[in-house]
């Protein structure tokens, strides 16, 4: 997507590409393409486009300003783009609707609307995956977050080495669910397929030392390369004959 966009912008292709995936940066790109500069692209513009196209765009919601500032610094140091900040859950939902980020990070305890309730609204509208921050690792809290659709949670205090894997886990799980929804029709079939994919991921992680996102990407790639469904690939990994558990 990044290189297709840039090649179109510099005149290799005559049409304006689909820029919907660039979110808040698409207007910048459209203006640059439409300016009709026959001298060719400005190198700084190309570098800027490449950077903003590859950064994950994040909204953070935390009612304590100092913690929010620390979180923003951690994210930006690791190459994430913080596109919105909120001090309560209701404002976070509004920002998510407006900005369509790649991820929303929410503290559990916030005024107006708590983080779990905000996550439930964001996830139910298919806006973005949510990562929940909490000072407690209580089982009931974790279950509430999971039931609300949160893709991962992180217990405070945390370091950058804790934050980045949690973010990538949340995004990967969100992409996995979206991919399964596209592939599988009914809810019951999706649940069965997801269970099977989870088993396959576990085996791949144990055998190859992969992370969960790496294991899922392997299943996706194998599915495309072999022209099989992800369910069929997962069945092969776990030792089932494809189609054996269907029907």
- The sheet with strand 130-134 has its strands ordered as 81-86, 57-61, 103-107, 130-134, 152-155
H-state helical runs in the chain: 2-9, 26-34, 43-54, 65-77, 89-99, 115-124, 139-147, 160-183, 187-208, 212-226, 230-238
Span 35-45, pLDDT tens digits: 454 444 555 55
Poorest-pLDDT segment among 2-6, 52-56, 119-123, 158-162:
2-6
Task: Average the pLDDT over 96-123 and give the result.
Answer: 93
Could you tell me the residue ranges of all domains in the chain?
2-54, 57-171, 184-238
pTM above 0.85, yes or no: no
Span 34-81, pLDDT tens digits: 445 444 455 555 454 444 446 899 999 999 999 999 999 999 999 999
57-171 CATH, one of 3.40.50.2300, 3.30.70.1070, 3.40.50.300, 1.10.8.640: 3.40.50.2300
Span 183-242, pLDDT tens digits: 766 767 777 887 888 889 889 999 999 888 788 889 888 888 888 888 888 889 988 655
184-238 CATH, one of 1.10.10.10, 3.40.50.150, 3.40.50.1220, 3.60.20.10: 1.10.10.10
Task: Provide the 3-class DSSP secondary structure of residue 104.
Answer: strand
């Amino acid at each position: 997507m990044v290189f297709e966009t840039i090649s179109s912008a510099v005149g290799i292709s005559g049409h304006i590409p689909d820029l919907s995936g660039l979110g808040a940066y698409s207007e910048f790109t459209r203006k640059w393409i439409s300016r009709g500069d026959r001298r060719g692209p400005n190198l700084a513009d190309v570098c800027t486009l490449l950077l903003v196209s590859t950064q994950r765009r994040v909204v953070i919601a935390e009612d304590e300003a100092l913690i929010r500032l620390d979180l923003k610094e951690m994210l930006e140091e690791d190459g994430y783009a913080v596109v919105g900040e909120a001090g309560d859950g209701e404002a976070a939902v509004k920002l998510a609707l407006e900005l369509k980020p790649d991820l929303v990070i929410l503290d559990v305890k916030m005024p107006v609307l708590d983080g779990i309730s905000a996550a439930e609204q964001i996830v139910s509208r298919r806006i973005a995956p949510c990562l929940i921050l909490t000072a407690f690792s209580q089982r009931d809290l974790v279950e509430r977050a999971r039931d609300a659709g949160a893709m991962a949670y992180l217990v405070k205090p945390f370091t950058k080495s804790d934050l980045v894997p949690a973010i990538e886990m949340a995004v990967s799980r969100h992409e996995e669910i979206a991919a399964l929804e596209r592939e599988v029709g009914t809810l019951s079939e999706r649940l069965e397929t997801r269970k099977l994919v989870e088993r396959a991921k576990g085996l791949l992680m144990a055998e190859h030392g992969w992370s969960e996102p790496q294991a899922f990407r392997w299943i996706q790639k194998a599915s495309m390369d072999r022209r099989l469904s992800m369910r069929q690939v997962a069945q092969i990994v776990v030792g089932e004959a494809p189609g054996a558990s269907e029907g």
